[in-house]
Structure 1
Amino acid sequence: MSWPRGGPDGGPVLGWRRDERAAGSAGTRERVSVLGYGRELGFRAEGERRCVGARGNPCPVAAVVPVRSTGARCPECARLDRAHSVAADTLADDPRPYRVYLAWFGPGMVKVGITRESRGGARLREQGAVVFGWLGRGPLMAARRTEELLRAALGVPDRIPYAGKRAVRGGLPGPVERAAEVEELYRRAVALEGAGWPEALERLPFEAVDHGGVFGLEGLDVTAAPVRAVTGLVGGGVVAGRLVAAAGPDLYLETPSDGTVVLDTRLITGWELAAADARAGVDVPLVAVGAGGVQDGLF
């Protein structure tokens, strides 16, 4: 699942790759489905979960990968995919402009990060940031130094465990309260100008961007029954329900017998999928939200 900058109303889309060889064509065909709230979804996993490869190239051995991992890559492909990435600090000479952001995921859960300016707010939606604000813009290394400055001077983390983000989504305060927490951190951050703030980083005016409506969280009712999360697919396992919300990589599905079920869409990569009845419910392993789950990513 992705949150493209130019997507309809900034909403999520799901990308599919279809093998055309069985139909007599060469290679694969890709298509994208817009994920509208209220839409019914249903699919069944088939076979085994295989490595998705690295940087657009297939895994040379089509390695089987763990069903609970969010990466869907074997160790070698994971290493290749991470190479030349911003996160790995291997693009110091990248000439493109970057932005520093402050992102809020729940009370007391604010982080600092950087993203390419051309991506806009897509990176923040991918991380599940309920609110964010830009802090500054400039060259990559200036943005990176600002990120490090906030970590050292203000104790602001650059990562928040994903399970923590998911656990608080059912009881978020209102838009005014959550924006206020980001604005307070912004004030503390700009007060550091002259105390290590890189000269090459242009400070941007504060404006809170709230994703509560885009994610569908304002209408999400998680009080009627405990929310449970998919821990991994299994061969022959079905996930089906009505989409009621989405945040980061998560889809919130209303199901006939299991209440609200959260599916981290990173868990479906690497599987062959077939259509299933949207009223079939869920017959893959589940765990109560906040009680463990999938191996965490770098969000």
Structure 2
Amino acid sequence: MAWRCSGIGWPQGTRLAVLRWEGGRVSPLTTGRTLGFRAEGERSCVGARGHVCPLAATVGGRVTQARCAECARLDRAHSVAADTIADDPRVYRVYLAWFGPGMAKVGITAEERGPARLLEQGAVVFSWLGRGPLMAARRTEELLSRSLGVPDRIPYAEKRAVRADLPAGAGERAAEVGDAHRRARALEGWPETLEPLPYEPVDHAGVFGLAGLSRATRVVRELVDGGAVAGTLLAVAGPDLHLRTADGEVVVLDTRLLSGWSLVGADPGAPLSVPTADLGVGATGTAQDGLF
């Protein structure tokens, strides 16, 4: 029985990642469990904004967003991240996040989402900086980028390359966020409508399972028809699964590569049979209780 993955999720209040499947099923991603699946057929466009792709288009295996050009355009036309919505009435929060030494960033998220955006990005430590209307939050984000050189994006390849080498102490992990928070609050030019929030670091190292994490050596580049991914789950950070395969190697799977594929269960001890790259390069008729 084939299932179609609709992505990873971090349900509010659980701090436990799940894989979501079309039809509403979920698979909890608890560390230490074994999993295995195999792709079948072609990867198809997942559509946009809840609508099925009108072209039933196929998409490439290496893209992290399984959308054809038309559906990607429609999705982006309603995206806060793409600055296409300026009149969103919701309250937004500005945050500072840290992913490893020298990797602090600034970002914004709707207040109603809580810390979900930080979990989705794989932020090891974060602190809120302020709250207010969308455009005030956006201007603050731009102020920090311009005045402090704090970026609003960090590539996933850089994040995953350092997860096994992070400082062991929570205080040391939070140091860069604390420094950036202090410098940000001292800046002139804050929008009057943005309410400052105190420095209160939140550490996700335990949530992700990073303590004692073995260094990964390979990253899955793409799924292919008949290709299997299997192993023991060591950690889940953002969209990334860190797996120990049957031969003892540790590999990273970006779960965004799963969307658009039909997946069937595979032996958790099956060998990895999908294209990979060095870490840091690109990226029976009865109902089933779970795919793996």
- TM-score in terms of structure 2 length: 0.92
1:293 CA drift (Å) = 2.4
Residues of 2 paired with 1:219 and 1:5: CA distance? 26
Aligned-residue Cα RMSD (Å) equals 1.0
Amino acid at match of 1:146: T
Residues of 1 paired with 2:84 and 2:249: CA distance? 44
1:49 CA drift (Å) = 0.5
Residues of 2 paired with 1:211 and 1:252: CA distance? 16
Amino acid at match of 1:218: A
Amino acid at match of 2:255: T
Residue by residue, what CA displacement relative to the aligned partner does 1:223-243 show, whole Å, maximum 9, x if unpaired? Answer: xxx521100000000001111
3-state DSSP of counterpart to 1:65: coil
Residues of 2 paired with 1:140 and 1:197: CA distance? 14
Matches within 5 A, 1:218-257: 218-222=211-215, 227-257=217-247
**Counterpart of 1:126?**
120
1:100 CA drift (Å) = 0.1
Matches within 5 A, 1:1-20: 1-6=8-13, 8=14, 10-17=15-22
Residues of 2 paired with 1:100 and 1:281: CA distance? 43
Amino acid at match of 2:211: E
Task: Say how many residue pairs are matched.
Answer: 275
Matched, 1:93 2:87: yes
**Counterpart of 1:83?**
77
Dislocated runs of 4+, deviation >4 Å: none
**8 A contact 1:101–1:113 mirrored in 2:** yes
1:258 CA drift (Å) = 5.0
Amino acid at match of 1:282: L
Residues of 2 paired with 1:137 and 1:279: CA distance? 48
Sequence identity percentage: 68
**Counterpart of 2:129?**
135
**Counterpart of 1:200?**
193
Q: 1:293 aligns with which of 276, 282, 287?
A: 282
**Counterpart of 1:176?**
171
1:219 CA drift (Å) = 2.7
**8 A contact 1:230–1:293 mirrored in 2:** no
**8 A contact 2:164–2:212 mirrored in 1:** no
The answer to which structure, 1 or 2, has the higher relative contact order (CA under 8 A, 6+ apart) is: 2
3-state DSSP of counterpart to 2:223: coil
3-state DSSP of counterpart to 1:77: helix
Residue by residue, what CA displacement relative to the aligned partner does 1:241-277 show, whole Å, maximum 9, x if unpaired? Answer: 1111010100011111151111100001000001111
**Counterpart of 1:22?**
none
Q: 1:282 aligns with which of 248, 263, 272?
A: 272
Matches within 5 A, 1:57-68: 57-68=51-62
1:161 CA drift (Å) = 1.4
Unaligned runs of 5+ in 1: 18-28, 295-299
Residues of 2 paired with 1:139 and 1:160: CA distance? 25
Residues of 2 paired with 1:288 and 1:256: CA distance? 18
